[in-house]
Amino acid sequence: MVFHGTSSAASVAQAAVVDVGDDHSMKELTAAMNAGEHPYGAIVRAMGNFDAWASFQQLHKFVQAAGGLVADEKGRLLAIRRLGTWDLPKGKVEKGEAIDRAAVREVQEECGLQQVSLVGPVISTWHTYERNGKQHLKRTDWFHMKASANEHLVAQTEEDIEEVRWMDASGVLDMEQDTYPSLLPVLEAWKNLH
């Protein structure tokens, strides 16, 4: 099991190896990582029959999300700027909602698009965050989609989205410098689609 913020091989090689044999030590490791210890991540080595993944999940509220890697006619990527950071359109899956349909709905809502066609699944990412004093574990399933640049883009300001923009290859490279570490593997997957 690896707790990690980025996907580069160099930073994985610098990750700390941490032995974890009970729920208490898992909680301590999670708190240490939230406090900024192990900046290159941690590789968890479960001791004995300890189920480290189950213990980690118990410390977090699970959130299922879905998002889109949306291409226009020119092969550009649809990106959003939320709270001053570049991101991709995504959001929580509603109870009883199919994950792929949730991804399309979120793209439509956050970007103001009417016509979005689903191509297929691309990648899944996991990350943790704290909100209201509680730890959350979010899985986001990302889907390749197509939409037209002829549609007018409208940022969903009630979701703190400041801008919606089509990014060419150069824009995606710039975006990588101003986005979340958990999004880097998604942008790498995007490049592999083209």
What CATH number does residue 140 fall under?
Answer: 3.90.79.10
Buried/exposed code over 42-68 (b: 16+ C-beta within 10 A; e: otherwise): bebeeeeebebeebbeebbeebebbbb
Confidence of residue 50 (pLDDT cuts 50, 70, 90): very high
Measure the CA–CA gap between 43 and 60, rounded to whole angstroms.
18
- pLDDT for 114: 96
Residue 80, Cβ density class (10 Å: 0-12 exposed, 13-18 middle, ≥19 buried): buried
The dihedral formed by the CA atoms of 146, 149, 154 and 157, expressed in degrees to the nearest 10: 60
pLDDT tens string 98-137: 999 999 999 999 999 999 999 999 999 988 888 888 889 9
- pLDDT for 2: 52
- Say if residue 154 is in the same domain as residue 67: yes
Measure the CA–CA gap between 72 and 54, rounded to whole angstroms.
41
**Over residues 78-83, mean pLDDT:** 97
- Say if residue 18 is in the same domain as residue 112: no
Q: Reply yes or no on whether the pLDDT at 30 is more than 60.
A: yes
- Say if residue 67 is in the same domain as residue 161: yes
pLDDT tens string 11-21: 557 788 999 99
- Say if residue 75 is in the same domain as residue 154: yes
Q: Reply yes or no on whether the pLDDT at 10 is more than 60.
A: no
Number of separate domains in the chain: 2
- Say if residue 51 is in the same domain as residue 135: no
Q: Could you tell me which residue, 144 or 130, shows the higher pLDDT?
A: 144
- Say if residue 44 is in the same domain as residue 73: no
Three-state DSSP class for residue 111 = helix
- pLDDT for 130: 83
pLDDT tens string 149-162: 999 999 999 999 99
Q: From 10, 40, 58, give the residue that closes a domain.
A: 58
What is the domain extent for residue 50?
Answer: 2-58
Q: From 58, 87, 102, give the residue that closes a domain.
A: 58
- Say if residue 30 is in the same domain as residue 110: no
- pLDDT for 41: 79
The pTM of the full predicted model, rounded to 2 decimals, is 0.84
- pLDDT exceeding 70 applies to what percent of the chain? 94
Q: Reply yes or no on whether the pLDDT at 8 is more than 70.
A: no
Cβ-Cβ contacts under 8 Å for 122 (sequence gap 6 or more): 69, 142, 143, 144, 186, 189, 190, 193
Three-state DSSP class for residue 156 = coil
- Say if residue 35 is in the same domain as residue 73: no
Q: From 34, 58, 82, give the residue that closes a domain.
A: 58
- Say if residue 91 is in the same domain as residue 183: yes
- pLDDT for 181: 85
- Say if residue 99 is in the same domain as residue 17: no
- Say if residue 124 is in the same domain as residue 138: yes
